[in-house]
Amino acid sequence: MLLAKLMRDRIASLKKANKAATKRKQRKKKRIQKQGTLIRVEGEDIIAQKEADEQIEREQRQSGAQLGVSRQALARCTRCREPGHNSRTCKKDTSGTA
């Protein structure tokens, strides 16, 4: 009986320790410090600047998409190298080549 009680206590303490370790691992880890000490105000300024830069990048990407600017090249026909169609639908006369 005493052994069973000791085992239950040991299992309970291990579960508690495991739960605490899991919480620590799940916490988001983000490093913003590069050198030296960093006070809270400086950290908040760095975070605010980073968020502003990300917002500007997002807006630039969205405006580029609205203008129709694309990074991917247009598909071209392999016969005449003109964009907008492929070799199966090409109107170029191919009777001269065999």
- Tell me the DSSP string of 21-62: HHHHHHS-------SS---HHHHHHHHHHHHHHHHHHHHHHH
**Confidence at residue 96, expressed as pLDDT on a 0 to 100 scale:** 53
Q: Which of 29, 33, 55, 51 is nearest to 42 (CA)?
A: 33
Taking only the tens place, the pLDDT of each residue in 20-34 is 988 888 776 666 656
Name which residue leads in pLDDT, 41 or 96. Answer: 41
Taking only the tens place, the pLDDT of each residue in 62-97 is 776 666 555 667 788 888 888 888 888 888 776 555
**Confidence at residue 15, expressed as pLDDT on a 0 to 100 scale:** 95
**Confidence at residue 29, expressed as pLDDT on a 0 to 100 scale:** 67
